[in-house]
Amino acid sequence: MIRKLLSFFLCVLLLSGLPLTVFAEESVPAVIDQAELLTAQEEMELEETALSLSGTYEMDIVILTVDTLNGALAASFADDYYDQNGYSEDGILFLLAMEEREWYISTCGNAIYAFTDYGLDRLGELVVPYLSEGDYYGGFSVYLEELNVYFEEYRRGFPIDRYLDSYSPEHREDVVYYEPKSQVTIRSVLPISLLIGFIAALATVLIMAYSMNTKRKQHSAVDYLKQGSYHLRTQRDLFLYSNVTKVRRQENNNHGGGSSVHRSSGGRSHGGRGGGF
């Protein structure tokens, strides 16, 4: 009887592990280096970072390098690759095409809202200098680092585009972990405190002196009329003229949160931006 129970529990444990095994085998890669721009060690490190971010923010993060687009547009190539290779509804893909010397970032699902057009342009500006110099690992590392900042602020509902310059890698530590360089002492505060006290006391005295003077200059003859001694017999409202002022409506420049959205060949909505390097 005991052996049967042990066998039964063993079967349950094995069966409960099957879905995990299947999921691990069917998981899609985060870094696909078809152009062979990265070493095996670099590719592994980027893969681990991308998968860690994906697990934290529940969005697929993909880096794809190819030798050529074979005549396709970078946007169409990136969108279709993301749609056709088993990635989730929410995610972002960075495409690098070597023959065309083009890069493109494709967003899908919630990633569209995390990255505005302006944000994607600024993200590209941070990465392109590394790509132009052939430092592909450095460029992708900075890219993943910035994704972490964007996704974290998006999760907190913070408009990061407005403060994007403060999040550049070389200045981020100074901005986030700012500490005052000088300490406040009694000697430095005492003169300011005395000055504030003197101004407050002077203002109080002036207000009291002003309130004691009850004589006021009257600006209208009505104030001198005896109440009930004057009656207005006729009263009319005459319309004279009107002024109309027209102001041109300013166009939205997408600096605050706009995202251009298009549809891929499969019908899924995507955002994205790209350029040369």
Per-residue burial over 197-212, b = 16 or more CB atoms within 10 Å of its CB, e = otherwise: eeeeeeeeeeeeeeee
Q: What is the mean pLDDT of residues 7-24?
A: 43
| Position 105 pLDDT exceeds 80 | yes
Greater pLDDT, 231 or 254: 231
- Position 104 pLDDT exceeds 80: yes
The predicted pLDDT at position 230 comes to 61
Mean pLDDT, the chain, integer: 75
Q: Residue 131's pLDDT is what? A: 96
Contacts of 267 (CB under 8 A, 6+ apart): none
| Tokens describing residue 163 | 């403060």
Domains defined along the chain, listed by start: 30-179+257-276 (3.10.310.50)
How far separated are the first and last CA of the chain, in Å rounded? Answer: 71
Distance between CA 140 and CA 142 in Å, rounded? 5
